[in-house]
Structure 1
Amino acid sequence: MDTPSSWVRRWAPLVPPGEVLDLACGSGRHARLLAALGHPVLALDRDPQALAAAAGPGIRTMEYDLEAQGAAWPFEAGRFAGIVVTNYLHRPLMRSLTASLAPGGVLIYETFAVGNEVFGKPSNPLFLLSAGELPEHAREGGLRVIAFEDGVTEEPKPARVQRLCAAGPAYAWSDAKLDHLSQRKQP
């Protein structure tokens, strides 16, 4: 499963120039995609073996357990031009995560939702988004929702997911970005 998510591939070109955080990066499939698009990437995960696989040109790695007792959010407000999160949910981080996005930055998020339990793991409600939860977190963080999907996907395996692309209030629309959107099937 080293292929980037189709959702992340679709929206990654909208991330403005600057540093991107790949949160809970795993083996770095999205870090590599964003580095290939010219972004300096910080790939964060708690697993040193995953970080070793994620390391590469344009990618710095950081071993950090965001869920450890007493762990503090390690990033300042407004730092990242983009943040990518897939297959990971830890609700206590949502405010800090959106605050770390630059005012003109882009958040791309995709993770499991209620209903996934019929497909397998995760099935624990702590790790499943409720209906409309992801765009609500984005709006609470001052972001504008660009695209949102909530439903069943077949790739890389059948799952119930929510997907979001949201931008900070100072996001600069350009003709090129509007062209990119008009060439894509809208959710």
Structure 2
Amino acid sequence: MSYEHPLAYLIGIEGAALLRAFTGEHDREFVEARLADVRALLADDKLANGVEVTQLAPREGYARWAAAYDSGENAAFADEPHLATILDTIPPGRALDAACGTGRLTRLLVERGHQVIAVDGSPEMLSHARADETLVADLRELPVDDGSQDVVLCGLALAHVPDLAPVIAEFARVLVPGGHLVLSDVHPEQVQRGSIPSVRTADGAPARVRTNHHRVGDYVRAFLNSGLTPVSCQEPTPAPVEPRHVPGGGPWDLWPWSLNGLIPDALAAAAKDVPSMLIWHCRKAA
């Protein structure tokens, strides 16, 4: 169980903005405005209450999210153009979509002529996927033969595993020599700022899908220890979006996004040039 308080998020973003000012990015007027914001936030009775939040295992969390996963606007799906560009450079072959979810990236592989096995730990998510073969499996024990895949694709999943090493080692095991590993995930900077999936438990209580903070170096070490060489690493930044003002910060289900409109100037400063995602392309030694 964790405890989420709107003031904790809002003052945290103000603090991030103030740290950037402390290192020379902003002037005295900006600093005084941020401090005034903090005082006003602390005095706002509408922001006085926090929320107890259950931490769900990924399998349970995604089972609850499966029906609505592809509906509405999901900013994380901005990885698709970056992944498509990498996949365009790889010849058709045998491909594994690991942690395929509802199969949104399986489509990218199929469109490029790959023969696709789609694997996910959630039967509920996997039921929406369309591939040559679908399998329920854990990423640490893939039901795929050694050296049988030309491509392994994994999108928005590895932040949910506690240790990258055994999963990356499995990806390397199933790749042919010279095979390609293509990954995307939410950037660790965004995970630290609350970019974590929210769901509701069976009784309607607030819950988050358990998410871990893997640094860029954690990925690099896992790749190198598994015989994979990074070809490229992209850290795209999101286009600036004017946060929408929601009186009182909105319901918990919309946190932290609905809180951003209460601190637009601090948010703009704190978020400037902060990456939204990590996009990796690696190759296994030939």
What is the TM-score when the length of structure 1 is the normalising length?
Answer: 0.73
The answer on whether the counterparts of 2:220 and 2:230 sit within 8 Å (CA) in structure 1 is: yes
Q: How does 1:151-170 map to 2 (within 5 A)?
A: 152-153=237-238, 160-170=276-286
Distance apart, 1:65 and its partner CA: 3.5
Distance apart, 1:98 and its partner CA: 1.4
The answer on whether the counterparts of 2:139 and 2:170 sit within 8 Å (CA) in structure 1 is: no
Counterpart in the other structure of 1:23: 98
Distance apart, 1:63 and its partner CA: 1.5
Distance apart, 1:47 and its partner CA: 2.1
Counterpart in the other structure of 2:233: 148
Distance apart, 1:97 and its partner CA: 1.4
The answer on whether the counterparts of 1:84 and 1:107 sit within 8 Å (CA) in structure 2 is: yes
The answer on whether the counterparts of 1:112 and 1:127 sit within 8 Å (CA) in structure 2 is: no
2:46 matched to 1:46? Answer: no
The 3 A distance-change label for structure 1 pair 33 and 151 is closer
The answer on whether the counterparts of 2:168 and 2:222 sit within 8 Å (CA) in structure 1 is: yes
- Computing the radius of gyration from Cα coordinates, the structure with the larger value is 2
Q: Distance in 1 between matches of 2:102 and 2:153?
A: 14
Which structure features the higher share of strand residues?
Answer: 1
2:179 matched to 1:88? Answer: no
Q: Distance in 2 between matches of 1:43 and 1:121?
A: 24
Name the amino acid aligned to 1:30.
L
1:146-171 Cα deviation digits (max 9, x unpaired) = 1102364459x99743211011223x
Q: How does 1:59-138 map to 2 (within 5 A)?
A: 59-66=132-139, 72-89=141-158, 90=161, 91=164, 92-116=166-190, 117-121=192-196, 127-138=212-223
Q: Distance in 2 between matches of 1:115 and 1:147?
A: 19
Q: Distance in 1 between matches of 2:124 and 2:178?
A: 33
1:33-67 Cα deviation digits (max 9, x unpaired) = 101111100111122232221125xx311122447
Which structure features the higher share of helix residues?
Answer: 2
Name the amino acid aligned to 1:113.
H
The 3 A distance-change label for structure 1 pair 82 and 66 is closer
Number of residues of Structure 1 aligned to a counterpart in Structure 2: 163
The 3 A distance-change label for structure 1 pair 154 and 11 is same
1:111-166 Cα deviation digits (max 9, x unpaired) = 133222214216999622213222332222222221102364459x9974321101
Q: Gaps (5+ residues) in structure 1? A: 171-187
1:58-115 Cα deviation digits (max 9, x unpaired) = x311122447xxxx34223211100011111132312121121111211101113322
What is the TM-score when the length of structure 2 is the normalising length?
Answer: 0.50
Q: Gaps (5+ residues) in structure 2? A: 1-69, 72-76, 198-207, 241-256, 258-273
